[in-house]
Amino acid sequence: MPFLGQDWRSPGWRWVKTEDGWKRCEPFSPALKDGNNQLNDISHTVILTGDDEDEEIYSTEDCEFAAKKRKKDHFRNNADSQCFYREKWIYVHKESTRERHGYCTLGEAFNRLDFSSAIQDIRRFNYVVKLLQLIAKSQLTSLSGAAQKNYFNILDKIVRKVMEDQYNPRLIKDLLQDLSSTLCILIRGVGKSVLVGNINIWICRLETILLWQQQLKNLQMNKQVNNGLTLSDLPLHMLNNILYRFSDGWDIITLGQVTPTLYMLSEDRQLWKKLCQYHFAEKQFCRHLIPSEKGHIDWKLMYFALQKYYPIKEQYGDTLHFCRHCSILFWKDTGHPCTASDPNTCLMPVSPQHFIDLFKF
């Protein structure tokens, strides 16, 4: 005789559908508990008045369906009651095995790794922004609906952080420019592309991006009031050493606009020559030689010319790491459950482009 319960497989837990899939409701969560109490406080018979002012009595079965629907809407709309992944690592599997069914996708990794908290760490901020920029250029349509929603939620937090801290707005402007260009192309060819959700949602997202771009354009840097030692008070050799630590030409130009002394140091030919030698090979120099009026090589123009043809080296304070022994992707400072005798020999830093390449099949 079959079991006549609602679900014979259910162990008795409450399950809630969230952006990341079905989650088990934890009884100790006060937000979930209050939401359940409010939604359970419903009678078994509901009287509704229609347009014709005739009263219609719903049965207990209809009431249960209505209660379930209200619960679903409640957990969908109440952001405080949603459960999100807070994991620092994920197992990357590319094929089905006896132990695991299916494979890990880019959207799943993007959802499960805690990028939302990573942007609060200044060492990881540029890494996450660069990853979002690469996804915007080519991988946006490969994300699931939940991953796309998570993508824009993280982007919203990034813009808010930049507006509050004025940290690296140029990097965010480039990200928003690439994302708006991609969305314009996808929205025009909506019949040919893969856009999860209604087209009006994407139009609203595009309008939000344009609003963010305008806000960043009007962003005013706050002047720091400090009566102590300033950058201009440092000796010339220390200022020169600071400039030699920069790996981005635009950062050197920006710093050179602060004072006439820094401008003089930022125009040093040897500085730009070292920068070109760091990012590019000697064979690449020969193809794009740009002599100055005095017959010398203009290394500053060389740098920006070579940047158009070849990728520059990327530097990040902290990156994701991949363990070749157990195929786990993780943040290095949090560690992972590795079974190797010497885990440090199995670690490999993962650049933003490598992160995307891990999930190409």
What are the pLDDT digits (tens) for 111-131?
888 888 888 888 889 999 999
The letter for the amino acid at 7 is D
pLDDT for 130: 93
Residue 103: pLDDT band with limits 50, 70, 90: low
Question: What is the gyration radius of the CA atoms in the chain, in angstroms?
Answer: 27
183 close to 209: Cβ distance less than 8 angstroms: yes
The CA distance from 358 to 134, in Å, is 14
Evaluate if pTM is beyond 0.95. no
Report the alpha-carbon distance of residue 235 to residue 240 in Å, rounded: 9
Asked whether residue 191 carries a pLDDT value surpassing 70, the answer given is: no
Whether residue 27 contacts residue 33, with contact meaning beta carbons closer than 8 Å, is answered with yes
Residue the block writes with tokens 């952001």? 79
Over residues 301-329, mean pLDDT: 86
Other C-beta atoms lying within 10 Å of the C-beta of residue 107: 21
Say if residues 87 and 330 touch (Cβ distance below 8 Å). no
pLDDT band at 213 (very low <50, low <70, confident <90, very high): very high
Listed ranges 88-97, 148-157, 326-335; the one with the highest mean pLDDT:
148-157
Of the two residues 259 and 232, the one the predictor is more confident about is 259
Paired residues of 22 in beta bridges: 17
Residue 332's pLDDT band, with cuts at 50, 70 and 90, is: confident
Query: Taking all residues of the chain, what is their mean pLDDT, rounded to a whole number?
Result: 76
pLDDT at 59: 46
pLDDT of residue 212: 93
Query: Would you state the pLDDT for residue 210?
Result: 93
The pLDDT-based confidence of 3 (bands split at 50, 70, 90) is: very low
Ranked by mean pLDDT, which of 55-64, 261-270, 310-319, 327-336 comes out on top? 261-270
DSSP string, 319-341: -EEEETTTTEEEEGGG-----SS
